[in-house]
Amino acid sequence: MKYFTDELWCGINSESEKERESASDKWEINLEEYCNIFENVKKLLPKKFLKIYMDQEGFHDYNLKNFEIIHGENGYKDPVSVSIVISNKEHTWNIIYNKIKKIAINYEQEFDIYERKRRKYRGFDDYGYDEFFQIDEKTLSHEILFASGATILVHFEKISIVEIKN
């Protein structure tokens, strides 16, 4: 993540008022810079995906239900695709990335510091923030930051979305 980093997100939620103010000021600067970039990138996203993404406020506070790397038959061009299933109380969405150029997952199991009395692990936790960038004429990047600090990065040429009925 370039603009909405885990460190900055932690700073916004710090117990230190000075750290919160500093992080908040930096967040506003980064938000403005990223919004300018996203104005160009969103023109490259499919209209259906973009409408749902905007209507669902970037999937903020959704929960990750499933992350799957799907490997098609060897010998075919672009045999790898990625499926991410996310959900809130009202909707479940399956985001599908095709023509994958890169996949990176950063996850470390972390004990939930807010639940000291019980052993509770957060997993990926809530879908927090994400960033889309253009890599080249055909390839886009989507990186998702979760509340645990975990990230998923996918470079792709095609993205689609389907609602899963509960």
Q: pLDDT of the chain along its 166 residues, tens only?
A: 999 999 999 899 888 899 999 999 999 999 999 999 999 999 999 999 999 999 999 999 999 999 999 998 776 778 899 999 999 999 999 999 999 999 999 998 765 555 544 445 678 989 999 999 999 999 999 999 999 899 999 999 999 999 999 7
Residue 38 lies in a domain: yes
Residue 104 lies in a domain: yes
Domain enclosing residue 148, as ranges: 6-163
Residue 132 lies in a domain: yes
Residue 1 lies in a domain: no
Q: How many other β-carbons are positioned within 10 Å of the β-carbon of residue 45?
A: 17
Prediction pTM value? 0.89
- pLDDT of 121 reads 61
Name the β-bridge partners of 84.
67, 95
Q: Answer for the pair 131, 1: CB distance below 8 angstroms, yes or no.
A: yes
Residue 51 lies in a domain: yes
> Which contacts of 73-77 are long-range, i.e. CB under 8 A and separated by 24 or more positions?
none
- Of the candidates 159, 151, 114, 161, the residue with the CA atom closest to the CA atom of residue 129: 151
Into how many domains does the chain fold?
A: 1
Residue 150 lies in a domain: yes
